[in-house]
Amino acid sequence: MAATRLSEGEAAELSSRCPQLPAEYISHLLGHGWGDTPNGKVIYNGPLTSEDVYGIPVGPPDLLVLGDDLAGYCFAYDPSAGVYGELDPNGRWEAWQHGMGLGAYVAA
């Protein structure tokens, strides 16, 4: 499935509904879209909670799940720490070093 771009209106509504989302994520949805990426990973069209994905809350409390690798590992953003990272199905959260963001996820 090809990536689907958000319209300006959809992006504004998402930003208003979820102000803690990083601007880089909104920009990606506008410019590149959501759905499948060239490296086989998926970017969501809006954030999910860990409970939405795994059925129980895992990881840091306000974690925003933004994509996955179709193998149970999720790409997420911790707004309280201001970092992206990976959440595994066992609830282990590994924050990435500052500066590693969405570009690193879709390029990896």
- Dump pLDDT digits (tens) for 73-92: 999 999 999 999 999 988 89
Tell me the average pLDDT of the chain: 90
Contact (Cβ atoms closer than 8 angstroms) between residue 5 and residue 29: yes
DSSP assigned state of 21: S
Q: How confident is the model at residue 17 (pLDDT cuts 50, 70, 90)?
A: very high
For position 39, what pLDDT does the model report? 87
Answer whether 33's CB lies under 8 Å from 6's CB. yes
Nearest to 64 by CA among 81, 89, 90, 31: 81
Among residues 55, 63, 71, the alpha carbon closest in space to that of 21 is found at 63
pLDDT at 104: 78
pLDDT, one tens digit per residue, over 27-38 is: 999 999 999 988
pLDDT at residue 1 tops 60:
no
Contact 41, 68 (CB under 8 A): yes
pLDDT given for residue 64 in this prediction: 96
Residue-wise pLDDT tens digits, 44-76: 999 999 999 988 898 898 999 999 999 989 999
Q: How many other C-beta atoms can be found within 10 angstroms of the C-beta atom of residue 71? A: 9
71 Cβ contact partners less than 8 Å away, ≥ 6 residues apart = none
